[in-house]
């Protein structure tokens, strides 16, 4: 094989968006322009669906100024797709890649995208088609294997922390029980980030529930009652993916839709929050119970991305291209954490099949023994990924002498 593989590059985005997924796109495009062996720099619209349909855009023609603005814009500028290709799809995709002389392929997405990249890469090997294939990680759920954390998580975590910070003030203003439903189907990293909202010991979230621990109505009501009698209010952050002891999602009984990956749709609906609120109203003597579901804002809210997250997402895209042009390697760009007290990250290439298919959950050391809160280990883990949060002030409330 030639040391310097010449040909066109294609990049695409897949799965649920994040607010920094365009950083990875732009990082890769700008890096690609620096390497002569990469000729055309193409983007496929709506992931592999665009590849199948031949809907490609020329990213070389975009100005640097416009690319800079796109990088700072939430969600997938090329459009996204939720599609797991079958064998026949893969044949079509691979034929298109050959037709357009695509020698460099970059797929930004979660573990399903890593799997797609892996299948394409294996197809190329079978027919001896010289091909560099990279997966660039993104997911707000933070559930990719082989990564300390993934681009998209820090910013979504920052949104959740800010939202709960504000909601804690709201709950202090008008006391009652408040439930906030947070994304994360199988991993509790995002709901755990709500803990970063706390400034004082009495601040919410007072209770956090994870998909990693079985959820029981009895324990939940006990927890809420205890907190409410202590503080006169209770702020709860709960993952959309909380499940019973059999592993059945509490919310899944109330939803119908299943995506093409076979995942039940848990977001974009208020049923879980309303269900838990009704539980509390019926069983405990609390008059004011409210629930909010944060929904898509977690992955799309503009203007407040985590600086570290944005930077690392850009780096992941840039390095994928750099790795790809460096020799005959394929893989997924993974983020590792440097040892030591001060936060630092470094990147490594790992095999595509190591990131594909399976996902990871919160390490048990991040969840407290009662299963209703996080540990200091988690706070240390998440804080540098999220960065600075807004300052909040509290009145000292010096009492006036009673008359």
Q: Which of 129, 202, 302, 327 binds its own copies (CB under 8 A)?
A: 302
Nearest 5°: the CA angle 31, 359, 266 is 105
Q: Which of 1, 36, 99, 245 binds its own copies (CB under 8 A)?
A: 99
Rounded distance, CA 18 to CA 7, Å?
30
73 binds its own copies (CB under 8 A): yes
Please return the burial class of 355, using the count of CB atoms within 10 Å of its CB with bins 0-12, 13-18 and 19+: buried
Q: Nearest to residue 363, comparing CAs of 148, 181, 110?
A: 148
Chain residues 349-368 in contact with its own copies, contact rule CB under 8 A: none
Please count the residues of this chain forming the interface with its own copies, following the rule CB under 8 A.
82
Which part of the chain contacts its own copies (CB under 8 A), choosing from 182-190, 284-292, 324-332, 335-343? 284-292
Q: Which of 122, 292, 348, 371 binds its own copies (CB under 8 A)?
A: 292
Site string for its own copies, 120-159 (x = CB under 8 A): ----------------------------------------
Question: Looking up tokens 């064998």, which residue turns up?
Answer: 87
Rounded distance, CA 194 to CA 180, Å?
10
Q: Which of 85, 151, 273, 387 binds its own copies (CB under 8 A)?
A: 273
Taking only Cα atoms into account, the Rg of the chain, rounded to an integer number of angstroms, comes to 23
Quote the crossing angle between the two packed helices 87-99 and 111-126, to the nearest 10°. Answer: 70
- Classified as helix, coil or strand, 169 is helix
Using an 8 Å Cβ cutoff, are 205 and 164 in contact? yes
165 binds its own copies (CB under 8 A): yes
Would the CA dihedral through 168, 171, 175, 178 be positive or negative?
Answer: negative
User: Closest CB to its own copies among 166 and 327?
Assistant: 166
CB of 286 to its own copies, least distance (A): 12
CB of 70 to its own copies, least distance (A): 4
Q: Which of 300, 351, 353, 359 binds its own copies (CB under 8 A)?
A: 300
CB of 295 to its own copies, least distance (A): 3
264 binds its own copies (CB under 8 A): no
282 binds its own copies (CB under 8 A): no
- Classified as helix, coil or strand, 83 is coil
Rounded distance, CA 151 to CA 28, Å?
14
Would the CA dihedral through 177, 178, 181, 187 be positive or negative?
Answer: negative
CB of 33 to its own copies, least distance (A): 15
Using an 8 Å Cβ cutoff, are 107 and 303 in contact? no
Q: Which of 39, 89, 100, 379 binds its own copies (CB under 8 A)?
A: 100
Q: Which of 34, 54, 263, 338 binds its own copies (CB under 8 A)?
A: 54
Q: What is the largest CA-CA distance in the chain?
A: 91
> Is 330 noted as a catalytic residue in this protein?
no
106 binds its own copies (CB under 8 A): no
CB of 398 to its own copies, least distance (A): 4
270 binds its own copies (CB under 8 A): yes
Q: Nearest to residue 147, comparing CAs of 388, 327, 381?
A: 381
78 binds its own copies (CB under 8 A): yes
Using an 8 Å Cβ cutoff, are 205 and 197 in contact? yes
290 binds its own copies (CB under 8 A): yes
Cis peptide before 205 (omega within 30 of 0): yes
User: Closest CB to its own copies among 31 and 146?
Assistant: 31
The catalytic position among 112, 141, 167, 180 is 141
Using an 8 Å Cβ cutoff, are 197 and 168 in contact? yes
Q: Nearest to residue 15, comparing CAs of 128, 181, 157, 144?
A: 144
389 binds its own copies (CB under 8 A): yes
Bridge partners of residue 116, in order along the sequence: none
200 binds its own copies (CB under 8 A): no
392 binds its own copies (CB under 8 A): yes
Question: Looking up tokens 């809210």, which residue turns up?
Answer: 301
User: Closest CB to its own copies among 70 and 92?
Assistant: 70
284 binds its own copies (CB under 8 A): no
Q: Which of 34, 64, 66, 129 binds its own copies (CB under 8 A)?
A: 66
Site string for its own copies, 201-240 (x = CB under 8 A): ----------------------------------------
172 binds its own copies (CB under 8 A): yes
User: Where in the sequence numbering do the catalytic residues fall?
Assistant: 141
């Amino acid at each position: 094989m030639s040391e310097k593989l010449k040909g066109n590059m294609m990049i695409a985005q897949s799965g649920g968006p994040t607010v920094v997924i365009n950083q990875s796109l732009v990082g890769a495009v700008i890096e690609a322009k620096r390497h002569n062996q990469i000729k055309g720099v193409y983007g496929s619209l709506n992931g592999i669906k665009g590849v199948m349909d031949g809907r490609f855009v020329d990213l070389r023609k975009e100005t640097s100024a416009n690319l800079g603005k796109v990088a700072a814009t939430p969600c997938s500028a090329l459009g996204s797709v939720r599609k797991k290709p079958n064998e026949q799809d893969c044949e079509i995709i691979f034929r298109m890649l050959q037709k357009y002389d695509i020698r460099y392929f970059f797929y930004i997405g979660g573990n399903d995208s890593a799997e797609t990249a892996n299948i394409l890469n294996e197809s190329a090997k079978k027919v001896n088609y010289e091909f560099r294939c990279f997966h660039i990680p993104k997911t707000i759920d933070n559930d990719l294997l082989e990564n300390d954390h993934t681009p998209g998580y820090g910013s979504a975590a920052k949104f959740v922390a800010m939202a709960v910070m504000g909601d804690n003030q709201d709950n202090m203003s008008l006391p009652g029980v408040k439930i906030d439903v947070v994304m994360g189907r199988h991993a509790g990293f995002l709901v755990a980030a709500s803990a970063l909202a706390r400034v004082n010991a009495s601040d919410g979230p007072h209770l956090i529930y994870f998909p990693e621990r079985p959820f029981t109505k009895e324990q939940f009501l006990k927890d809420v009652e205890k907190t409410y009698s202590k503080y006169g209010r209770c702020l709860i952050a709960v993952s959309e993916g909380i499940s019973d002891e059999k592993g059945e999602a509490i919310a899944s009984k109330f939803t119908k839709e299943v995506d093409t990956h076979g995942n039940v749709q848990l977001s974009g609906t208020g049923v879980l929050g309303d269900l838990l609120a009704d539980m509390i109203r019926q069983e405990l003597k609390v008059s004011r119970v409210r629930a909010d579901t944060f929904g898509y804002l977690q992955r799309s809210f503009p203007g407040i991305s985590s600086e570290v997250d944005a930077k690392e997402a850009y780096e992941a895209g840039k390095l994928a291209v750099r790795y790809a042009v460096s020799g005959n390697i394929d893989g997924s760009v993974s983020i590792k954490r440097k040892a030591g007290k001060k936060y630092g990250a470094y990147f490594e290439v790992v095999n595509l099949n190591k990131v594909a298919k399976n996902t990871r959950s919160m390490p048990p050391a991040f969840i407290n023994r009662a299963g209703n809160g996080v540990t200091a280990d988690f706070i240390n883990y998440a804080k540098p990924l999220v960065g600075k949060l807004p300052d909040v002030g509290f009145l000292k409330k010096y009492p006036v002498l009673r008359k």
